[in-house]
Structure 1
Amino acid sequence: MPWNRPARDDFRRPRTVRLPYTDRAEAGRVLAERLAPLGLDGAAVLALPRGGVPVGHEIARRLGSRLDVLVTRKIGYPPQPELGVGAIAEGGAPVFDAGLLARLGLREDDLASTVAAERAELDRRVAAYRGGRRLPDVAGRPVVVVDDGLATGGTARAAVRAMRERGPSRLVLAVPVGAAETVRSLETEADDVVVPAAPWEFSAVGQWYRDFEQLTDDDVIAWLDRAARAAGEGPEPT
């Protein structure tokens, strides 16, 4: 079911979304139409790379905003790295799944070397995507955090919390599709959670897209360059 939780809990009538999306660009256009009425003038649109960037491109274009990235990394369980036990976002502290850590018999300190390795990769990606530019100053501005889907929601949670620390006037989490339980678990993290489709039967983000190709660093840079050219902008000062 579609999910849109405005800040004052004035729930809106759900609108049908046809799944699967053709690709991330179509998903971004659908999402952008849900965001347009929210009055997000001057918003910073921050996409989680890699998959969130094509989605964010459509949103930034619709809102007349600049597109940038907010880099995140999953913190994996060392014997099984694909199992996420937490996440980090640039400028933020690690966010762990306390319940999962307890079930695995782990403490946060046990993951210090894993966190250090993920921070190093995060820093590499920041340098690749943004060069010497800093994150935009979002204090007193609306911020839209964008990804292409929510499965467990770990990276989205880390991203939203990192942005909350920077004092935006309004914090929006916008995702084309997400597992219903995950969407509900994130509704207290942002002022608005905008997810046009939140199915209860959810195994992977890619099942909700016909074209879900894996993106590279070069793809991310190309999308950011395209967005900057479309907006007629040069690089922000370092």
Structure 2
Amino acid sequence: MFKDRIDAGKQLAQRILNYKNKDVVVVAIPRGGLPLGAIVAKALNAPLDVVLTKKIGHPINKEYAIGAVSLGNKFITDSGEVSMSYIEDEIRSIRALLRQRQDQYYKNSKPKVLKNKIVIIVDDGIATGNTMLATIRLIKDEEPSRIIVAVPVASLSALEKLNNSPFVDETVCLLIPRHFRAVGQFYTTFNSVDDKIAIQILEESNKQFK
């Protein structure tokens, strides 16, 4: 168990101190990944950025990711019998939301360049791994030198997917529970993180890199 995201971020940072002062960009998945990402970025003396992507949920179960969308790209992992019209409608809707989020998150800054950087993707946990895999595929298009996934907790099946991905160079996970229902069950306090708090965390973290 972790007390909260701060506790998880501190423990996670200790596991990847070998990347301190290297050519690293820490990329957090909004919004729950931001508190951890800021702690990891500070420990590594690295800039912090966010992944402006969002999963495409299955029409029957929105929590099950069949792909992911960014403002410039899309990646479908498991469309199955889902119609292309549904996917196209979801992409349009998601991109409208991402444009709004981009205006919010980058009001006073620009996205970090990931080309030839060691990218450490941080989130507060991984359940199925489908959203993370799709996000990784989109980040790979930006040509980083390495992609590392660092999380406090993940299901065994999710880790197996990540470890079998040709796009992931390293995974760091502190806790791999035998019985996994949801990320929040492994935190004593697991409050939601709204956009206002996430933006404050991002801006505060990057003050020294302006």
Identical aligned pairs, as a percentage?
32
The partner residue of 1:192 within 162, 170, 186 is 170
For the 8 Å contact 1:51–1:215, the answer to whether it is kept is yes
Q: Deviations over 1:99-143 (max 9, x none)?
A: xx32xx224454210121011112211211112744211211211
**Bigger Rg, structure 1 or 2:** 1
Tell me, in whole angstroms, the C-alpha distance in 2 between the residues paired with 1:222 and 1:130.
11
Equivalence for 1:26: 7
Equivalence for 1:214: 192
Is 1:223 equivalent to 2:201 in the alignment? Answer: yes
With structure 1 as the length reference, what TM-score do the two structures score?
A: 0.80
Equivalence for 1:150: 126
The partner residue of 1:112 within 82, 85, 88 is 88
SS in 1 for 2:205: helix
> Structure 2 vs 1, CA of residues 60 and 72 (structure 1 numbering), >3 Å: closer, same or farther?
same
Equivalence for 2:148: 172
> Would you say how many aligned residue pairs link Structure 1 and Structure 2?
208
For the 8 Å contact 2:118–2:144, the answer to whether it is kept is yes
Q: 1:164: Cα distance to partner?
A: 1.1
Equivalence for 1:78: 59
CA RMSD, 1 decimal: 1.9
For the 8 Å contact 2:28–2:123, the answer to whether it is kept is yes
With structure 2 as the length reference, what TM-score do the two structures score?
A: 0.90
Equivalence for 2:158: 182
SS in 2 for 1:111: helix
Runs of 4+ in 1 over 6 A off after TM superposition: none
> Structure 2 vs 1, CA of residues 202 and 128 (structure 1 numbering), >3 Å: closer, same or farther?
same
Tell me, in whole angstroms, the C-alpha distance in 2 between the residues paired with 1:220 and 1:163.
20
Tell me, in whole angstroms, the C-alpha distance in 2 between the residues paired with 1:92 and 1:195.
28
Tell me, in whole angstroms, the C-alpha distance in 2 between the residues paired with 1:91 and 1:193.
26
Q: 1:58: Cα distance to partner?
A: 0.8
> Structure 2 vs 1, CA of residues 135 and 95 (structure 1 numbering), >3 Å: closer, same or farther?
farther
Tell me, in whole angstroms, the C-alpha distance in 2 between the residues paired with 1:135 and 1:82.
27
Is 1:130 equivalent to 2:106 in the alignment? Answer: yes
Q: 1:178: Cα distance to partner?
A: 0.5
Q: Deviations over 1:140-179 (max 9, x none)?
A: 1211111111011222112211121111111111111101
Equivalence for 2:182: 204
Segments of structure 2 that go 5 or more residues without pairing to the other structure are none
Tell me, in whole angstroms, the C-alpha distance in 1 between the residues paired with 2:172 and 2:17.
11
For the 8 Å contact 2:20–2:44, the answer to whether it is kept is no
Equivalence for 1:51: 32
Q: Deviations over 1:188-220 (max 9, x none)?
A: 231111111122311000001111101111010
Q: Deviations over 1:58-113 (max 9, x none)?
A: 110110001111122121233543443322245432333x2xx32xx224454210
